[in-house]
Structure 1
Amino acid sequence: MLNFCTLFDSKFLPYGLNLHTSLMKNCGSFHLYIFAFDDKCQELLSKVNLPHTTVIALSDFEDEELLAIKPTRTRGEYCWTCTPSTILYCIKKFGLDNCTYIDSDIYFYDDPGHLIREMGDKEILLTLHRYTPRYDETHISGKFCVQFMTFKNKPESLAALNWWRNACIDWCYNRVEDGKFGDQKYLDDWETRFNNVHVLQNPAGGVAPWNVQQYGVETKGEEAFVTLEEKKHRLNFYHFHGLRFLSDNKLSLCEYSLPARAVELLYVPYIELYLQNYAKLKQLDNNLDVWLPAANNLETFKKNTLNFLKGKYNIYRINKFVKAWPK
Structure 2
Amino acid sequence: MQIFCTLFDSHYFSRGLTMYNSLKKNTADFRLYIVCFDDYTYNGLLQLNFPEIIPISLNQFEDIELLEAKKGRTKAEYCWTSTSSVILYVLNTFNEPECTYLDADLYFFSDPGVLLDEAKNHSVMITEHRFSAPYKHYVFFGIYNVQFMYFKNDVNGRKVLDWWRSRCLEWCYDRSEDGKFGDQKYLDQWNSLFEGIHVMHNTGGGVAPWNVQSFTYEQNQNVLFQCNKQTKEHNKVIFYHFHKFKLYKEGFGLAHTYDLSKDIADFIYTPYYQALLSTIGQISKVFPDFASKGFNSYNEGRLYLNYLLNKKNFTGDCLITENKENIHVKQCAAKPVNLLKNIFIRSFIGRIINKVRFFILYH
TM-score scaled by length of structure 2: 0.81
Q: Secondary structure at the match of 1:206?
A: coil
What residue in structure 2 maps to residue 313 of structure 1? 336
Q: How far apart, in 2, do the equivalents of 1:260 and 1:57 lie?
A: 41
- Please report how far the alpha carbon of residue 44 of structure 1 lies from its aligned counterpart in structure 2 after TM superposition: 1.4
What residue in structure 2 maps to residue 110 of structure 1? 110
The Cα offsets for residues 103-148 of structure 1, whole Å up to 9 and x where unpaired, read as 0111111111110111231100010000012112444320001000
What residue in structure 2 maps to residue 127 of structure 1? 127
What residue in structure 2 maps to residue 67 of structure 1? 67
Q: How far apart, in 2, do the equivalents of 1:65 and 1:184 lie?
A: 20
- Please report how far the alpha carbon of residue 305 of structure 1 lies from its aligned counterpart in structure 2 after TM superposition: 5.8
Q: How far apart, in 1, do the equivalents of 2:326 and 2:52 lie?
A: 36
Distance change >3 Å, CA 68–CA 139, structure 1 → 2: same
Question: Runs of 5+ in structure 1 lacking a partner?
Answer: 296-301, 317-327
Superposition map of 1:1-327 within 5 A: 1-228=1-228, 229-288=231-290, 289-292=292-295, 304=322, 306-307=324-325, 309=327, 311=332, 312-314=335-337
Aligned length: 310
**Contact in 2 for aligned 1:268/1:309 (Cα 8 Å):** no
Distance change >3 Å, CA 133–CA 31, structure 1 → 2: same
Q: One-letter code of the match for 2:118? A: E
Q: One-letter code of the match for 1:253? A: A
Identical residues among aligned pairs (%): 38
Q: One-letter code of the match for 2:248? A: L
* Structure with larger RCO (C-alpha < 8 A, sep 6+): 1
Distance change >3 Å, CA 111–CA 287, structure 1 → 2: same
Query: Larger % of helix: which?
Result: 2
Q: One-letter code of the match for 2:156? A: E
- Please report how far the alpha carbon of residue 18 of structure 1 lies from its aligned counterpart in structure 2 after TM superposition: 1.1
Q: Secondary structure at the match of 2:164?
A: helix
Q: How far apart, in 2, do the equivalents of 1:309 and 1:152 lie?
A: 43
What residue in structure 2 maps to residue 299 of structure 1? none
Distance change >3 Å, CA 293–CA 280, structure 1 → 2: farther
- Please report how far the alpha carbon of residue 283 of structure 1 lies from its aligned counterpart in structure 2 after TM superposition: 2.2
Q: How far apart, in 2, do the equivalents of 1:175 and 1:303 lie?
A: 34
**Contact in 2 for aligned 1:209/1:254 (Cα 8 Å):** no
- Please report how far the alpha carbon of residue 221 of structure 1 lies from its aligned counterpart in structure 2 after TM superposition: 3.9
Q: One-letter code of the match for 1:248? A: E
Distance change >3 Å, CA 68–CA 137, structure 1 → 2: same
The RMSD of aligned alpha carbons is 1.9
Q: How far apart, in 2, do the equivalents of 1:307 and 1:111 lie?
A: 28
Q: How far apart, in 2, do the equivalents of 1:198 and 1:294 lie?
A: 41
Distance change >3 Å, CA 110–CA 130, structure 1 → 2: same
Distance change >3 Å, CA 292–CA 236, structure 1 → 2: same
Q: One-letter code of the match for 1:276? A: S
Q: Secondary structure at the match of 1:72?
A: coil
TM-score scaled by length of structure 1: 0.90
